[in-house]
Amino acid sequence: MLFSIRQQGGLEMRRNGRALLYAGLFYAPLVSADWQVNLIEGATEISRAVYNLHMVIFYICVVIAVIVFGVMFWSIFWHRKSRGAKAAHFHESTWVEIAWTIVPVIILVSMAVPASTTLIQMYDKNSAELDIQITGYQWKWRYQYLNQDIDFFSSLATPQEQIINEQIKGENYLLEVDKPLVIPTGKKIRFLLTSNDVIHSWWVPALAVKKDAIPGFVNESWTRVDQPGIYRGQCAELCGRDHGFMPIVVEVKSPEDYQLWVAEQASLKEKQQQSAEQNWSRAELMARGEAVYKASCAACHQVEGQGIAGVFPALAGSELMAADPAEHIDIVLFGRSGTAMQAFAEQLTPVDLAAVITYERSAWGNQGDAVTVQQIAELLKE
Amino acid sequence: MGSLEQTVSSTDHHGPAKGITRWLYTTNHKDIGTLYLLFSLNMFFIGGCMALTIRAELFQPGLQLIMPEFFNQMTTMHGLIMVFGAVMPAFVGLANWMIPMMVGAPDMALPRMNNWSFWILPFAFSMMLSTLLMEGGAPNFGWTFYAPLSTTYAPPSVTFFIFAVHMMGISSIMGAINVIATILNMRAPGMKLMDMPLFVWTWLITAFLLIAVMPVLAGVVTMMLMDIHFGTSFFDAAGGGDPVLFQHVFWFFGHPEVYIMILPAFGVVSEIIPTFARKRLFGYTSMVYATASIAVLSFIVWAHHMFTVGLPLVGELFFMYTTMLIAVPTGVKVFNWVATMFRGSMTFETPMLFSLAFVVLFTIGGFSGLMLAIAPADFQYHDTYFVVAHFHYVLVPGSVFSIMAAAYYWLPKWTGHMYNEAMGKLHFWLSFIGVNVTFFPMHFLGLAGMPRRIPDYALQFADFNMVATFGAFLFGFSQLIFVYNVISCIRSGKKATARVWEGSHGLEWTLPSPPPYHSFTESPTFTRPHRNDDRGG
């Protein structure tokens, strides 16, 4: 058979072993495990319905293929000149032609019925118990729990060293994030999707949810997961340089664990507040700024601040870094409209903002003044 | 010009000019056909090198050879070059060579425009390729160039890309006008529309599709140009525009465009299979109607490329049903080809091998297309390698194999020499294995969850990617056999007869091989094939 359907043990990917392959100057771990060939059934009612549709249409195709290719190979074998076959003279048959027009129509209609039912079910977005706004950014996701004070960014957690083959790749290489989306089991959760810059697409195969996040528009989708677990996905719409590096991780918790997590978010917020009020030395800001820079800025402006000519301006040696910090702060906080430069005021805490701006102004031989957390905090209040 | 030339007697041998000017100033349909085909072959290799760069990077997880920004330029340029530079010009080349000979005309109806429509192309593609050397790099937003990635967030070279697309569009429209004018006005006396060979029929319908949708493409790139340089906001929500509008306009062009790349292939295969089955094509009339229905349907299915953009339910259902409907006429074509082979007297020369592979592998691409039409399932397939597998199955063993089949089939007619059959078969088998090893595993990758257009991937996708890369290099390098075979055929192939193939049938085979410079200087008399005509003769 063409596809052998393999049950996946759990949703985490499975690896049976690992070998290192040294090939010239580079190496990458060879994973000798997953020859997964089919869709997963997933973790929701909808995803199982989709899986069943997929299998039905697949088997229909297999049956048609066996018949059509069967006749074809029969002819190739028996009706070849080398076997002495003489060509027949027929070249049309109204009845046969009508039959093979009508039969496919019947098959298609029988396929369209369950497909429409599932689709209608997917479009029923009523009576959600929790609304989460998902915003795509180049190249991370932002999750805002509506009517709750939870709002955070979620970006790739795989270290750069693994990507450029200087470290052995981890089990969830490119499918791990710093802060996963957390949702409770058994509740209907509505996702409101939009984007801050270009079109992204939020896709988690186990939930059978794939919906485009489009700037200026809000799309809706929903899910209800039965089992706690960790479900991984990726951005599905080409969104620029790091399109391949903006994974999605959904952590589904039992309602009790979910409540604990919600409470934890409130105390985290408080801690952040406190750290903004303490006094930060320049050295502390520089250390923190370097980490923030690597996570949020280096994708475009590059680790050494050299940028990419013609697309992303260089920061190293830039006049902006030496001039009055006001303009520099303004660009980082509020972005530059009409370019790829995003507004970071909402993405980063005042401490991180002050740290990264200070870092950019002093790293790579730049000689600008430091900025303080208070300076940023005041600007943000305005 | 037709009447002038016809007064020159065929023994006078009005031959081509000498040197480079023959090719620059030529208005001859065969010369222009040759130029188109050579241009297409070049682009096929350039686009192929880009594909191999992509596959080499994807050989293993991690970034080894190229950085993500260059990877995106490669996927974009590969797509644009293969679609607009390789497949479309190859079919125009075949049309130029074959349509006048098949309908019994001396040349194309509008020879000077013919010259112009070809000579625009090298300039358009030089400009497009030059963007690779520009600051900020070549276009990196995918061959579908979705806004706002291709407008606000695009590299500066996007303007050159837009201009290049305009030039290609002009070239295609002029080519299409020429095809229509030739077919409708220059058929041999007695040849009715329903007597035309299927290659001519499919090209006639393709030409109308081209005229209908190339202006739409020109419109959408012009809107981009306005957004980028003149402050409009067609695709910018902040200014009251809509990024999804881009996709609607693009796919209104894009879906007919994919049939532009496959309908002439249907025509080619419908010529070749009857020849080597020594039996008339089964269901000629239904073939013509099926082609026309596919063309009509192609205008009302475009949003199946956009099932995830958040269409309303009714829209989603409409586009799902219309898309599924396309399976009916496409099925009719496949059944007709199989019925043509059934109880024939088959032999398996290289053109036939490529055509048989076309029928099987194109149908597999059709099956995955049917799966993609099921909107709820499409949410899982959309923008994954399953889609990549699908459209490469219809474009490589579909369009490209049919072009190869056509080249082998008519090469003896064009050059007057036979190609090397053993080498042709070797080329076929290596291509056949290479194509399947490359693209079949991509179905699995997509179903397992690998998104398309990513330069690096999670570890569970490693094995099939490695397999695909091996296949790609095998396929890529086997095409050099084709080049060698064509060159040695022109230089030292055995002499070909006028008929070339035992089962061949049609006006082009009544001309000597190679045919005279001006194909039919006198209109041939067309005789309708007898109802019980036996191609074996």
Lowest-confidence pick of A307-311, B7-11, B484-488, B490-494: B7-11
Active site residue B69: no
Closest Cα in chain A, distance from residue B452 (Å):
7
Q: Looking at this protein, which amino acid is placed at residue B253?
A: F
Inform me whether the C-beta atom of residue B278 falls under 8 Å from chain A C-beta atoms: yes
DSSP state letters, A173-189:
TTS-BSS-EEEETTS-E
Residue to mutate among B228, B273, B308, with most A CBs inside 10 A, is B308
Sequence-distant (6+) residues with CB within 8 A of A373 are A276, A280, A350, A351, A354
Instruction: Assign A161 a pLDDT band (cuts: 50, 70, 90).
Output: confident
Report the distance separating Cα A178 and Cα A176, nearest Å: 7
Q: Taking residues A132-148, what's their average pLDDT? A: 94
Report the distance separating Cα B85 and Cα B49, nearest Å: 14
Predicted confidence at residue A8, as pLDDT, reads: 38
Instruction: Assign B98 a pLDDT band (cuts: 50, 70, 90).
Output: very high
The answer for B500, left when phi > 0, alpha when psi is -120 to 50, beta otherwise, is: left
Q: What does the pLDDT look like over B51-79, one tens digit per residue? A: 999 999 999 999 999 999 999 999 999 99
DSSP state letters, A236-297:
-S--STTGGG-EEEEEEE-HHHHHHHHHHHHHHHHHHHHHHHS---HHHHHHHHHHHHHHHT
Of the candidates B303, B380, B201, B404, the one whose C-alpha atom is nearest the C-alpha of residue A204 is B380
pLDDT at A169 over 80: yes
Contact (CB, 8 A) for A180 and A250? yes
Predicted confidence at residue B14, as pLDDT, reads: 62
User: DSSP letter at A303?
Assistant: T
Dihedral angle at the C-alpha atoms of B443, B44, B509, B203, nearest 10 degrees? 70
Q: Which CATH architecture has domain B32-510?
A: Up-down Bundle (1.20)
Report the distance separating Cα B535 and Cα B503, nearest Å: 5
Burial of B509 (0-12, 13-18, 19+ CB in 10 A): buried
**DSSP-H helix ranges across B131-262:** 158-185, 198-229, 243-260
B47 alpha carbon, distance to own chain's centre: 14
The answer for A7, left when phi > 0, alpha when psi is -120 to 50, beta otherwise, is: beta
For the record, the structure tokens of B129 come out as 């390729």
Interface of B with A in 445-484 (CB under 8 A): 447-449, 451-464
Contact (CB, 8 A) for B222 and B246? no
Average confidence score pLDDT of chain B: 93
Contact (CB, 8 A) for B493 and B452? no
Length of chain A: 382
The residue to which tokens 């409130």 are assigned: A266
Report the distance separating Cα B226 and Cα B239, nearest Å: 13
Contact (CB, 8 A) for A275 and A351? yes
Q: What does the pLDDT look like over B238-297, one tens digit per residue? A: 899 999 999 999 999 999 999 999 999 999 999 999 999 999 999 999 999 999 999 999
Report the distance separating Cα B324 and Cα B373, nearest Å: 6
Sequence-distant (6+) residues with CB within 8 A of A102 are none
Q: What does the pLDDT look like over A104-121, one tens digit per residue? A: 999 999 999 999 999 999
Contact (CB, 8 A) for B440 and B432? no
With b for 16 or more beta-carbon neighbours within 10 A and e for fewer, the A322-356 pattern comes to eeebeebbebbbebeeeebbbebbebbbbbbbbbb
User: Quick one: CA dihedral B502, B504, B505, B508, positive or negative?
Assistant: negative
User: Quick one: CA dihedral B150, B152, B157, B158, positive or negative?
Assistant: positive
Instruction: Assign B319 a pLDDT band (cuts: 50, 70, 90).
Output: very high
Predicted confidence at residue B521, as pLDDT, reads: 87
For the record, the structure tokens of B259 come out as 């049939």
- Per annotation, catalytic residue among B131, B151, B270, B350: B270
Of the candidates A244, A239, A261, A243, the one whose C-alpha atom is nearest the C-alpha of residue A252 is A261
Inform me whether the C-beta atom of residue B243 falls under 8 Å from chain A C-beta atoms: yes
Predicted confidence at residue A310, as pLDDT, reads: 74
- Per annotation, catalytic residue among B97, B203, B259, B337: B259
Closest Cα in chain A, distance from residue B380 (Å):
6
pLDDT at B531 over 90: no
SS3 label, residue B515: coil
Sequence-distant (6+) residues with CB within 8 A of B116 are B174
Report the distance separating Cα B121 and Cα B102, nearest Å: 26
pLDDT at A369 over 60: yes
Q: Which of A54, A104, A214 sits opposite B244 (nearest CB)?
A: A214
Report the distance separating Cα A36 and Cα A11, nearest Å: 12
Burial of B244 (0-12, 13-18, 19+ CB in 10 A): buried
Q: Taking residues B436-443, what's their average pLDDT? A: 97
Q: What does the pLDDT look like over B127-138, one tens digit per residue? A: 999 999 998 899
pLDDT at B386 over 70: yes
pTM: 0.90
Q: Taking residues A308-323, what's their average pLDDT? A: 83
Average confidence score pLDDT of chain A: 86
The residue to which tokens 């290049």 are assigned: B164
State the count of interchain CB pairs (< 8 A) between A and B: 329
SS3 label, residue B170: helix
Contact (CB, 8 A) for B358 and B393? no
Report the distance separating Cα B38 and Cα B519, nearest Å: 21
Of the candidates B131, B129, B286, B99, the one whose C-alpha atom is nearest the C-alpha of residue B200 is B99
Active site residue B452: yes
A31–B459 C-beta distance less than 8 A: yes
For the record, the structure tokens of B18 come out as 């000498």
Inform me whether the C-beta atom of residue B237 falls under 8 Å from chain A C-beta atoms: yes
Q: What does the pLDDT look like over B157-184, one tens digit per residue? A: 999 999 999 999 999 999 999 999 999 9
User: DSSP letter at B305?
Assistant: G
User: DSSP letter at A304?
Assistant: T
Q: How far is CA B243 from CA A234, B94, B152, B379, in A?
A: 21, 38, 11, 20
> Structural domains in chain A?
45-122 (1.10.287), 130-272 (2.60.40.420), 279-381 (1.10.760.10)
Report the distance separating Cα A212 and Cα A341, nearest Å: 21
- ipTM tops the 0.85 cut: yes
For the record, the structure tokens of B21 come out as 């000017």
Closest residue in B to A78 (Cα–Cα): B343
User: DSSP letter at B397?
Assistant: I
Predicted confidence at residue B8, as pLDDT, reads: 42
Contact (CB, 8 A) for A251 and A236? no
Predicted confidence at residue A113, as pLDDT, reads: 96
Contact (CB, 8 A) for A144 and A133? yes
Report the distance separating Cα B285 and Cα B95, nearest Å: 21
Q: Which percentage of chain A shows pLDDT scores above 90?
A: 53
